[in-house]
Chains A and B, each alone.
Chain A
Amino acid sequence: MLKTTAGNGKSVPARVAVVAAGVVSPLGFGLSETLDSLREARDCITRVTRFSVAECRCKTAGQVSDERLLDGRRDASRTQSLHRTSHMMIQALGEAVTQGPEFKPELTIIGTTSGGMSNGENYYRSLHRHGNLRHSPTWIANYPAQKPVIDAQETFGISAPCQVIANACASGTNAIGHAFECVRSSRYQCVLTGGYDALSELVFVGFDSLQASTPEKCRPFDRRRTGMVLGEGAAILVLENFDAARARGAPILAEITGYGASTDNFHLTQPDPSGIGPRRAMELALQSVQVAPNAVDYVNAHGTATLFNDAAEGKAIGELLGRVPISSTKSMMGHSLGAAGAIEAIVCLLALQHQFLPPNINFRAPDEDTELDVVANEARPAALRAALSNSFGFGGTNASIVMRKFEA
């Protein structure tokens, strides 16, 4: 195992490279389509078709096309028996494998919020109407949160043990951050990480009941924001010891350099208005990379467009990082919960690779008491070296990662 040692004999943290990545989200299938959607500031929110939303205030979400998801699957019987979360994970991991088939993960760490919830819904509904439970073994088999991860790994012959983190909406960033620390500590050379979540009726209605989701457009950081729209998707990043990756000639897409996590005990569903939780996560992420706040060139904000989140996050960003360009790409694709942090890490990766600031669409006017530099409505070209991505969740979980452009 490669372990870096300093002149004084003490081991120093290993550099962590992103050597492969894959994504499926409402923005598109794969990195290329995602890049196009970001550059063109596409609004990918549509009316929900998976279940009835007639009684909900909110009627829209970012959705992944089933037709495209199942297109080209060779094994029809296996395709039918898998849940769409598995198909999303297979799609995302498949793209990563195509880029770098030689990677050999020793561990997989994936974030999710609701696992195979729609299987539970099908099961409950069938029981409730004393209906046909012929499919119940399939629903039950696909319910566990680790199942899509195992399905995807099996598809590509990967046998790494998997840890599934369910830290609500911070899950994806927590998973990437923990994977980063595993490689950074040299306990592991290569870790597969990311997140997934699919729309489900229970979760959709839940956010609607809280009035956290909006019947209008999703307008993060806008003065007249009215809430989030949900989304879905999956994203995978392969993290590897930088020196090992270089030694085997692997392409390096970016480096992850910092991670911070904190817990805000203010309330189960609301952040401390002072922004202390998000601020602490960002501070820890910057401390771990030992860079000053002004080294951050772009923040991909959690930015759910709820009154409370954006106020607390905006305050924390403003106080810690000043007028750094920020955007919430949830405005384009919705909030994919456990997948959000992973998809947004891909957004940061693309921004660093292609030197642009992803847009925050539907933005009209900033909050009166903040001076944030919101990347309003259009992507901007920019020289970027470091990006910070935030994810915060129910339960007061806060996570931030720092990603750096790879310069050979």
Chain B
Amino acid sequence: MSLAIAGMGWITPLGNGVDPVWQRLLEGAEAPAEKIREQLGDQSYSVFRVPNSALASLAPHPRLRRASAISRFAAVAGLEALHAARVKLGPQNRDRIALVFAISNGGVIYTKRFYRDIVETGAQAASPLLFPETVFNAPASHLAAILGITGATYTLVGDSAVGLLAIRMAEDLMTNDALDCCLVVGAEEVDWLLCDAYRRWRLLRLEPPVEPFSEVGRGMILSEGAGAIVLTRDGSLMIERTHAGGYYRKRTEAEEILKRIICDLTEGKIDFVISSANGTFIDKAECSALRQTIPDAIVYTVKPALGESVGAAGLWQVIMAGQALRCGELPPLLHVTSAISLRTPALRMSLARAGHAIVLSCGVNQQMAGLRLSIQ
């Protein structure tokens, strides 16, 4: 079945609001990097953080008093998407909307604080206020409470493909006539501990830039924020098809699975691809699969500008694709070397007659997924 995107919202290291951030991306903006340090280790890491000003529009709510950054990000993005979709929640429809929340690392800042107290002082120092915020679905619960959703809520956990898997799940949910729409949110917060873990796994770069599709795979820069879309059954911006995804063990397998996903999504013309290239080993698989299946398609990734936001990444990609189809142009792809054999927009590029796009998500923890969008 196909679904319509009735509204979109996001909060990113370049600020919040779909149109303002989109404009900055078109102008070639790149989020400013911030150094973070921790007593746990000597290494400092560069990250792309959400500026405080992006949270200024968020009204106080009792549920947000102690909530993690993820919950605040999700609230900003979710409220923007619902507003754009003109969905008003009330007693008549609060159980006719489902919430699917994509996340990867979860509330790592509170989890670390909670466990630090146990390690340093002992179990009796453990905080009963912090513990509930460590649970993966705490941000979804806060968002449901803020919005007044009483229907089904699902928190889906995975790698950076989880956002597209969440949209696939929403599509499955929407086969049920009892639902009018589905709010899909992806969110993540960044922390030193995550940077350190990814660095030990040789996936992180200490300083920007993020160089997509590079031969060496120097690594990614982590970022934070949230993206949200409202899915309904009718509209002009359509998700024509989702792919259930797959998982890989080796890079060569990743390439084969991606080729299958792309072939499944490319019936007819494809004008551009919003890729998930983030500067890691997985870019090679994506590049090779794209080259072999749709060599003429224009390929763009937003991760050099906004970083790798893992749980939020897939939603950001879909919003990028939606905006490119609506506005008929793509931002310039930053920090790409001229040696790659893909068609990429070196400068802001007009896509005047673009009608179809693919979004691909290749996670570094074995998951991958894709979907196809169109505009009428």
Contacts and interface: CB of A to CB of B under 8 A. Distances in A.
Interface string B154-174: 111111000001001100110
B154 A113 contact: no
Interface string A81-120: 0000000000000000000000000110000110100001
Nearest to A109: B169
Interface of A: 53-56, 106-107, 112-113, 115, 120-121, 123-125, 127-128, 133, 136-137, 140-141, 143-147, 150, 153-154, 159, 161-168, 174, 178, 181-182, 185, 187, 201-202, 205-211, 261-265, 268-269, 280, 393-397
Contact of A394 (B116, B128, B137): B137
Nearest to A268: B132
A166 B136 contact: yes
Contact of A178 (B99, B135, B172, B244): B172
Given A56-B123, A263-B150, A394-B141, A167 B176 contact: no
Nearest to A170: B137
A29 B25 CA distance: 55
Contacts of A146: 157-159, 247, 365-367
A268 B128 CA distance: 12
Contact of B165 (A54, A55, A124, A163): A163
A153 B248 CA distance: 11
Interface in B113-136: 114-116, 118-120, 122-124, 126-128, 131-136
Contacts of A394: 132, 135, 137-138, 141
B196 interface: yes
A127 B169 contact: no
Nearest to B63: A268
Interface in B218-251: 244-247, 249
Contacts of A147: 365-366
B95 A166 contact: no
Contacts of A154: 249
Kindly name the residue among B155, B169, B175 whose own CB sees the greatest number of chain A CB atoms within 10 A: B155
A141 B201 contact: yes
B200 interface: yes
Closest 10 CB pairs of A and B: A395-B141, A166-B136, A206-B131, A55-B123, A261-B152, A161-B245, A209-B126, A265-B145, A185-B175, A145-B157
B152 A262 contact: yes
Contacts of B159: 144, 146
A205 B132 contact: no
A121 B134 CA distance: 13
B369 interface: yes
Given A161-B244, A167-B155, A209-B128, 11 more contacts: A106-B244, A112-B157, A124-B116, A124-B193, A159-B247, A161-B246, A163-B156, A167-B154, A202-B111, A263-B152, A394-B141
Contacts of B141: 263, 265, 268, 394-397
Contacts of A168: 135-137
B91 interface: no
A167 B172 contact: no
A5 B135 CA distance: 42
Contacts of A150: 247, 366
Nearest to A177: B152
B40 interface: yes
B69 interface: no
B141 to A, nearest CB: 3
B144 interface: yes
Given A262-B95, A265-B150, A395-B153, A124 B115 contact: yes
Given A268-B141, A269-B132, A396-B141, A165 B200 contact: no
Contact of A144 (B40, B115, B155, B158): B158
A136 B200 contact: yes
B216 interface: no
B20 interface: no
B132 A208 contact: no
B372 interface: no
Nearest to B39: A128
A163 B168 CA distance: 10
Contacts of A395: 135, 137-138, 140-141, 144, 153, 155
Given A209-B126, A394-B135, A178 B157 contact: no
A202 B132 CA distance: 11
Contacts of A174: 152, 154
A115 B124 CA distance: 24
Contacts of A145: 136, 157-158
A136 B135 CA distance: 23
Contacts of B112: 124
A245 to B, nearest CB: 20
B119 A166 contact: no
A187 B172 CA distance: 8
B328 interface: no
Nearest to A277: B150
A3 to B, nearest CB: 12
Nearest to A123: B197
A314 to B, nearest CB: 21
Query: Which of B104, B114, B145, B249 is packed against the most chain A CB atoms within 10 Å?
Result: B145
A262 B40 CA distance: 41
Given A55-B124, A128-B119, A161 B247 contact: yes
Contacts of B104: 144
B41 interface: yes
Contact of A159 (B148, B246, B365): B246
29 contacts: A55-B124, A112-B157, A120-B111, A125-B119, A127-B193, A137-B200, A141-B201, A143-B197, A144-B157, A144-B366, A145-B158, A147-B365, A165-B154, A165-B155, A166-B106, A178-B172, A181-B173, A182-B172, A202-B115, A202-B118, A206-B134, A209-B127, A262-B151, A262-B152, A263-B144, A395-B140, A395-B144, A395-B155, A397-B141
Given A145-B157, A163-B165, A124 B119 contact: yes
A187 B157 CA distance: 22
A194 to B, nearest CB: 15
A202 B175 contact: no
A388 B122 CA distance: 41
Contact of A265 (B114, B148, B168): B148
